[in-house]
Structure 1
């Protein structure tokens, strides 16, 4: 019993670190999804709102910054997601950034089968 009581804080710390690592992976996944959705919508010939599409593709409640960019033949969107922290001694957390670049649609060409 005494050995378990001594090992319990280490076991809890390892469990919280594993959950924190999962949160980092989740934030990276959401940032990539938002960047791809924003770039895809903005690169279409209709020129939709890529920022709104990027935010809609991500889970609600995330602290995310969506930045449109690119020009010419491509559209690039960059999404930065702030990772929430579970462990109090790791600081204010991290920010995960992902970018996606999509080619712009050509409106004057007709696709042949």
Structure 2
């Protein structure tokens, strides 16, 4: 009975990690888009990518991309790899989230 209960507990922890990584990916995407939408020197794609990576927990790694940009908006996509509670067993792929922000208007 104990091995079965341990398997259930590990499955619960793994699902919690998936949800947490999804939340972190959303935070990274929003932060990256918000920062990239700022005018230079505070904003831009490079600053947005760095801000998105800095927004996630230290033990997670976020990959930030900017698939669609136009004159009015900027879209950021963040992907976070889900760690596994069982070494060598990876049941879940990376979790991705996107965010779109309007570019800041700098006209006087």
Normalising by the smaller structure, the TM-score range is 0.7 to 0.9
In structure 1, stretches of 5+ residues that fail to align are 1-6
1:20-35 superposed matches below 5 A: 20-35=14-29
Q: Aligned with 2:12: secondary structure?
A: helix
Give TM-score, length-normalised by structure 1.
0.82
Give TM-score, length-normalised by structure 2.
0.85
Structure with more strand by fraction: 1
Of stretches 86-95 and 67-76 in structure 1, the one that deviates more from structure 2 is: 86-95
2:9 pairs with 1:15 = yes
Q: How many residues align?
A: 103
Q: What is aligned with 1:70?
A: 68
1:1-113 superposed matches below 5 A: 7-46=1-40, 47-48=43-44, 49-72=47-70, 73-87=72-86, 90-91=89-90, 93-109=92-108
Larger radius of gyration between Structure 1 and Structure 2: 1
Q: Aligned with 1:65: secondary structure?
A: strand
* Distance across 2 between alignment mates of 1:89 and 1:70: 35
Structure with more helix by fraction: 1
In structure 2, stretches of 5+ residues that fail to align are none
